[in-house]
Amino acid sequence: MKRERNPVGWFELYVSDMPRAKAFYETVFQTILDQLPAPDVEMWAFPHEPERPGCAGALAKMEGKDPGNGGTIIYFSCEDCASEESRVNAAGGSVHLPKTSIGEYGFISLVLDSEGNMIGLHSMT
């Protein structure tokens, strides 16, 4: 069995109000999302450098796919997840689980974005 790359190659967070969702993620992560051309779907991509570890992804608004609290949680890597967590409420989201130790694997926070999607924040400190 080969292990040539990380198992996740792309993610999409589905939204119903793109301007609101885009403002939430740009505020919490202090970044700028770039629009991707795609037929039948509005997409705004998170910054990504292909030569660095991690996964690329985007916010997506598409007919027939609604946002919400489902069974998948995407974890965003952070220097200190408490920093991003501190910006969640002001950006229109809410904190579900404040920064919590997961032992030798660091810390996590679980938050709801402005669209009701639960996402995870992860840091080693």
Q: Determine the distance from the C-alpha atom of residue 101 to the mean position of all C-alpha atoms in its chain, rounded to a whole number.
A: 20
- Going by their DSSP bridges, the two strands 56-61 and 42-45 should be labelled as antiparallel
Quote the tokens at residue 116. Answer: 């009701």
Residue 93 has pLDDT above 90, yes or no: yes
**What digits encode the pLDDT tens for the residues 105-117?**
999 999 999 999 9
Residue pair 122/81 in contact by the 8 Å Cβ criterion: yes
User: Is the entire prediction scored with pTM above 0.95?
Assistant: no
Beta-carbon contacts of 104 under 8 Å, excluding residues fewer than 6 positions away, are none
Q: What is the pLDDT of residue 60?
A: 93
Quote the tokens at residue 106. Answer: 């660091």
Q: What is the pLDDT of residue 3?
A: 65
Q: What are phi and psi of 6, to 5 degrees?
A: -65, 145
Domain ranges of the chain: 10-123
- Longest CA–CA span in the chain (Å) reads 46
For 10-123, CATH number out of 3.30.565.10, 3.10.180.10, 3.40.50.20, 3.40.30.10 equals 3.10.180.10
**What digits encode the pLDDT tens for the residues 11-20?**
999 999 999 9
Q: How many Å apart are CA 99 and CA 19, to the nearest integer?
A: 27
**What digits encode the pLDDT tens for the residues 20-56?**
999 999 999 999 999 998 888 999 999 998 888 888 9
Q: What is the pLDDT of residue 5?
A: 65
